[in-house]
Amino acid sequence: MSNLDGMEKKVRKLQIRAVAAKMKLRDLAEDLPINWTEIEEVAEKAYAAFAELDGAKRELAAMKNLR
């Protein structure tokens, strides 16, 4: 497997993780005010997941441009 294939696989996994984090944040918002104390923790996890995904997408794009 090439580095490009590995990066594409990583991006797909990170996309799944980011969507799961988004859904957890959405579910939490729908249930407010129940569990309101979890907002910060859940939002931080969603932010981190999307930040990591964004970085991986940029790296993948750079790798494709070098081909």
Consecutive 10-residue averages of pLDDT for the chain (67 residues): 90 98 97 96 98 97 89
The whole-model pTM stands at 0.88
pLDDT at 14: 98
Structure tokens at 34: 């129940």
Q: Is there a contact between 4 and 56 (Cβ–Cβ < 8 Å)?
A: no
CB count in 10 Å sphere of residue 25: 18
Nearest to 42 by CA among 17, 67, 25, 60: 25
Domains and CATH numbers, the chain: 3-66 (1.10.287.660)
Q: Is there a contact between 28 and 38 (Cβ–Cβ < 8 Å)?
A: yes
